[in-house]
């Protein structure tokens, strides 16, 4: 009975505030991280700055409730799309957060599991067994396409006027990514690119190979390998494309599948990172409609 009362109260509260489900999931993530900061702040340098920014963002999102209706087109566009930018912004702040609760990384455990399952490390022997420059360049292109994959389907749906499908896809991506970010805080894994030998020889001379590694050397967050958010997002986007827009599905399929393989081939992730990331994306695809309707 108490659960029914609480559920009814929360529904009335959220229904009275004019926010989208993507707004609510962003607020929930920021609030969760803020609580963890208060508990484990001794392990986070300048934690009060992170906390202040998180609170400011929450207040900014809540202020959308007080925006006049109807919104001007440019403000409507910003309101609909701002949440997608949090995938990049929250990823950038993830590295220090992964050392907030647990110090160190769980790479040794992942390596041990992979040695038992695969009799070695797929992230080291795939490129050695298939040393094709064409294959390497294509897989690195797919890996780079992660940034386009997260936007393409949403853009296709938005500009086709399929707004409800757009909001649901956006929510599905945010839910999946935020679950990954919270997971990293409790189980940080650096990934093979930090500990294993880099790919050398002809493959390392590829344009896309060099571009990918140049970007990662400046914009990666250590501790965010397991599960792979790249493969999780690729999986959820591809499944949403199959549900909402078959043209997008056809376009995205080779890049999403190539991305999953490329994360391991390029030694960016362990094979288990990619497998569990893909499974997480599939699980979130089954769950998100329920959570979306509730919010």
**Tens-digit pLDDT string for the chain (295 aa):** 555 655 555 555 555 567 889 999 999 999 999 999 999 999 999 999 999 999 999 998 888 777 666 666 777 788 889 999 999 889 989 999 999 999 999 999 999 999 999 999 999 999 989 999 999 999 999 999 998 999 999 999 999 999 999 999 999 999 999 999 999 999 999 999 988 888 998 999 999 999 999 998 888 899 999 999 999 999 999 999 999 999 999 999 999 999 999 999 999 999 999 999 999 999 999 999 999 998 8
DSSP string, 201-267: GGGGG-HHHHHHHHHHHHH--TTBTTTTHHHHHHHHHHHHHHHH-HHHHHHHHHHHHHHHHHHHHTT
C-alpha distances (whole Å) from 253 to each of 110, 173, 180, 250, 258 are: 28, 17, 22, 5, 8
Position 64 scores a pLDDT of: 74
Select from 242, 227, 234 the least CA-distant residue to 157.
242
Global confidence as pTM = 0.90
Query: Are residues 92 and 216 in contact, defined by beta-carbon separation less than 8 angstroms?
Result: no
Task: Count CB neighbours of 244 within 10 A.
Answer: 19
For the chain, helix, strand, coil in percent to 5 are 80, 0, 20
* Contacts with 247 (C-beta within 8 Å, 6 or more apart), sequence order: 156
Dmax over CA atoms of the chain, in Å, equals: 66
The DSSP 8-state label assigned to residue 84 in this structure reads H
Place of tokens 């757009």: 166
Task: Count CB neighbours of 110 within 10 A.
Answer: 24
Q: Distance (Å, rounded) from C-alpha 217 to C-alpha 32?
A: 29
DSSP string, 173-187: HHHHHHHHHHHHHHS
Task: Count CB neighbours of 292 within 10 A.
Answer: 20
Query: Are residues 261 and 213 in contact, defined by beta-carbon separation less than 8 angstroms?
Result: no
Select from 215, 245, 210 the least CA-distant residue to 230.
215
The DSSP 8-state label assigned to residue 42 in this structure reads G
Place of tokens 């292109």: 141
């Amino acid at each position: 009975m108490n659960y029914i009362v609480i559920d009814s109260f929360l529904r009335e509260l959220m229904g009275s505030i004019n926010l989208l489900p993507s707004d609510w999931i962003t607020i929930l993530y920021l609030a969760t991280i803020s609580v963890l900061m208060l508990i484990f702040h001794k392990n986070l340098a300048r934690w009060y700055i992170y906390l202040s920014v998180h609170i400011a963002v929450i207040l900014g999102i809540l202020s959308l409730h007080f925006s006049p209706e109807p919104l001007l087109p440019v403000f409507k566009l910003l309101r609909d799309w701002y949440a997608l930018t949090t995938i990049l912004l929250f990823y950038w702040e993830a590295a220090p957060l992964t050392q907030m609760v647990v110090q160190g990384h769980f790479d040794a455990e992942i390596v041990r599991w992979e040695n038992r399952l695969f009799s070695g490390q797929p992230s080291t022997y795939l490129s050695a067994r298939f040393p094709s420059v064409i294959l390497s360049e294509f897989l690195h292109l797919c890996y780079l396409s992660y940034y386009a994959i997260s936007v393409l389907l949403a853009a296709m749906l938005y500009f086709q006027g399929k707004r409800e499908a757009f909001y649901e896809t956006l929510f599905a991506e945010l839910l999946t990514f935020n679950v990954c970010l919270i997971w990293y805080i409790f189980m940080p894994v650096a990934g093979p690119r930090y500990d294993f030998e880099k790919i050398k020889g002809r493959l390392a001379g590829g344009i896309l190979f060099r571009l990918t590694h140049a970007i990662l050397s400046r914009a990666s967050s250590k501790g965010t390998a397991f599960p792979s958010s790249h493969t999780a997002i690729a999986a959820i986007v591809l499944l949403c494309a199959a549900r909402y827009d078959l043209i997008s599905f056809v376009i995205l399929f080779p890049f999403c599948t190539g991305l999953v393989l490329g994360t391991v081939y390029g030694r960016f992730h362990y094979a288990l990172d990619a497998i569990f990331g893909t499974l997480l994306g599939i699980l979130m695809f089954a769950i998100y409609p329920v959570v979306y309707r509730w919010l």
